[in-house]
Structure 1
Amino acid sequence: MPAAQNTSARPNRITALFGTDVPVVLGPFGGVSSVELTAAVSGGGGLGSYGLYGYSAEAILTTAAQLKKATAKPFALNLWIPTGDETPSIPKEEFDHYVETLKPYFDEVGLPLPEMPHRYLPDYDEQVAAVLEARPAVVSFVFGVPAPELVEEAHRRGIVLVGTATTVAEAVALEAGGVDAVVASGMESGGHRVSFLKPAEESLIGTFALVPQVADAVSIPVIAAGGIADRRGYAAARALGADAVQVGSAFLATRESAAVPAYRAVLHSPAASETVLTRVLSGRLARGIPNRVIGELSTTAGTAPFPVQNWLTGRFRPQAAAQGNTELMSLWAGQGTPLIRHDSAADVLAELLSGGEILA
């Protein structure tokens, strides 16, 4: 076995906590997680993760069963904690206004305009109950600190809990709340900025400034996330005090992910060198590769609040993906995306772990 593999596979606090072989975590994706990719990362010795945004309790149990069939290794399920700023409903006339704003995109993909739903998100308590019933090795959270009773019940069932912080204060709050490890998510990360103590725009700290500060501030293991796509990012994060790294975009670009071929092609293209932070696709701040829909919606009079906007654009985005129309998709990606060189999960893992050679 190469020296890099030996160095990277040394037991540490994260591998002991998760029961994994190597300190690499797959970033959970909302909408593009796949059983195949999650199982591939877990089977390769890391911790595969699966994002459950928008999943009903029944879908969660079905997905967990599929994951357990696909791998006998530990994996994580990821939940979005309600922050309290969600808009559960809006007046019908307001809904119709936002739909009319998006009408050109529904027309372009050949879909009828959507009717106003009874609710925009599944019930969080029902999701929690399903996750506890599924009993994965790890449950990770974004947008907050899990409730004390959830922490107690998860630990009673032997489930490890991971929180996500975008600031030192959030990391401290998560440790005080009883989670077992914390992801230090720098502003370079793709997808939604998961801040919860202050607005996301006031919590934009870079990964390599955030990680050492979090490592100094908490006693629980720290997982670095944001801008890490190759051996150099792995080595730098570990040198700064991270017990492990969490990687999203590099795994999203692999053939095992649920991203459609056109999306993966963009991740491997020069277009990935530019990302923007925007609220126009979901109503919450998120980082992605700019395209026509982002540009056009950025100039409109207003965007529906979260989760209404995410639900509305989520009606035409999947159809656009099925058609290979990347101009109407959410192309979430981190700032390290131009570093991507591989198209299989195994090769991404090998690339990251070879960073142990730098540390040796």
Structure 2
Amino acid sequence: MNPLEALHLSLPLIQAPMAGVSTPDMAAAVSNAGALGSIAVGAVEAPAAREMIASVRARTARPFNVNLFVHSPAQARPDVEARWLTALKPLFAQFGGAPPATLREIYRSFAVDDAMLGLVVEARPAVVSFHFGLPEAWRIATLKAAGCILFASVTSLAEALAARAAGIDMLVAQGFEAGGHRGVFDPDAPDDRLGAMALTRLLVEQAGLPVIAAGGIMDGRGVRAALDLGAVAAQLGTAFIGCPESSADAAYRAALFGPAAAHTAMTRAISGRPARCLPNRFVGWGAETDLTPPDYPIAYDAGKALHQLAKAHGESGYGAQWAGQGAPLARALPAAELVDRIRTEMDEGEY
């Protein structure tokens, strides 16, 4: 049985949980419109996550997804971090500042976050999804015992088979086109960079679990194509950035609806992990440096500090403006209206 059937969605559509973009307002609007809304709590501590979940519940009685980061905890590498901070000095200096003296692991991985586990078990969201890897078996068993349906982002058949063996219910097939952080379990391992079409078909045929297609899908035609490939649903992230409910700032929105949308790039410079975003000054700097960044999310501590300093001086070119290759198709519509538009596009009979 497709676990999504238990959620009684009227549209096989999932709004991707993009940290820093998706909000409780967006998740609730999407769920109320008949799809599956999502929030990402990997970038906050358990108390803030509790508030976010409560905020969604105050706005909808429908199911929604809570997304967690399951990266390997960062390893401090003082020499690497010192070289990185030295290289960043000229970028900070142009705004009259200096990089932090030291860098911190700003996000705690769910792999070791017992407080977050306790909160999620208490909240019992309909869906819990994992990005960057899989938690230990006992954590998965605890969430399943709480009645949560479990999704995991995967980028290869090997990752998909590992997710199946771990007890995951559904796979999110993240193609290389997708915006935001690449969900590879090991960012230092070889990456075949499979596109959403090839990966979805491969997993449908060989992974043995229901598949949700993700990457480059922006409208009803894309959703229908994903279903034709054998996926049970499609996950869209970049499509929702332009919605008024998203937390993207004015500069991010301007870049999304400008020429930069046609030239997204994968970079490690911002956070330490490969992530697809709109090209900007930081991405350009990262392409020119041959330095290895500190581990995720230690590198992100520096990236966020640089962005805040630059933004205070009117420069938005150092922010994390995540977007996938479908960005030129983005639409500035309220989330519920976008869901309805996608539904109409799927039903137009042009497939």
TM-score, normalising length from structure 2? Answer: 0.90
Q: How does 1:1-360 map to 2 (within 5 A)?
A: 13=2, 15-83=4-72, 86-91=73-78, 95-107=81-93, 113-116=99-102, 119-122=105-108, 124=110, 125-126=113-114, 127-196=116-185, 199=188, 202-307=191-296, 308-318=298-308, 320=310, 325-353=315-343, 354-358=345-349
Q: CA deviation at 1:319?
A: 5.4
Question: Residues of 2 paired with 1:26 and 1:81: CA distance?
Answer: 20
The 10-residue stretch of structure 1 (307-316 or 342-351) with the greater mean CA deviation from structure 2: 342-351
Report if the CA contact (8 A) 1:161-1:180 is conserved.
yes
Q: CA deviation at 1:256?
A: 0.8
Report if the CA contact (8 A) 1:235-1:358 is conserved.
no
The residue aligned with 1:5 is: none
Instruction: Give the SS at the match of 1:326.
Output: coil
Residues 115/72 of structure 1: CA separation in 2 closer, same or farther (3 Å cut): farther
Report if the CA contact (8 A) 1:106-1:112 is conserved.
yes
Report if the CA contact (8 A) 1:31-1:53 is conserved.
no
Question: Residues of 1 paired with 2:334 and 2:27: CA distance?
Answer: 12
1:357 corresponds to which letter in structure 2? E
Question: Residues of 1 paired with 2:60 and 2:218: CA distance?
Answer: 24
Residues 24/302 of structure 1: CA separation in 2 closer, same or farther (3 Å cut): same
Question: Residues of 2 paired with 1:301 and 1:201: CA distance?
Answer: 18
TM-score, normalising length from structure 1? Answer: 0.88
Specify every segment of 5 or more residues in structure 2 that has no aligned partner in the other structure, as ranges: none
Report if the CA contact (8 A) 2:127-2:151 is conserved.
yes
> What CA deviation, in whole Å up to 9, does each residue of 1:265-289 have, x standing for no partner?
2112222011111111111111111
Question: Residues of 1 paired with 2:349 and 2:309: CA distance?
Answer: 44
Residues 330/243 of structure 1: CA separation in 2 closer, same or farther (3 Å cut): same
2:100 corresponds to which letter in structure 1? P
Q: CA deviation at 1:343?
A: 2.6
Instruction: Give the SS at the match of 2:224.
Output: helix
Question: Residues of 1 paired with 2:77 and 2:187: CA distance?
Answer: 25
Q: CA deviation at 1:170?
A: 1.6
Question: Residues of 1 paired with 2:65 and 2:269: CA distance?
Answer: 29
Counting aligned pairs with the same residue, the percent is 37
What RMSD, in angstroms, separates the aligned Cα atoms of the two structures?
A: 2.4
How many residue pairs get aligned? The number is: 346
Question: Residues of 2 paired with 1:169 and 1:59: CA distance?
Answer: 34
1:157 corresponds to which letter in structure 2? A
Question: Residues of 2 paired with 1:319 and 1:53: CA distance?
Answer: 24
Q: CA deviation at 1:132?
A: 2.0
Instruction: Give the SS at the match of 1:202.
Output: coil
2:222 corresponds to which letter in structure 1? G
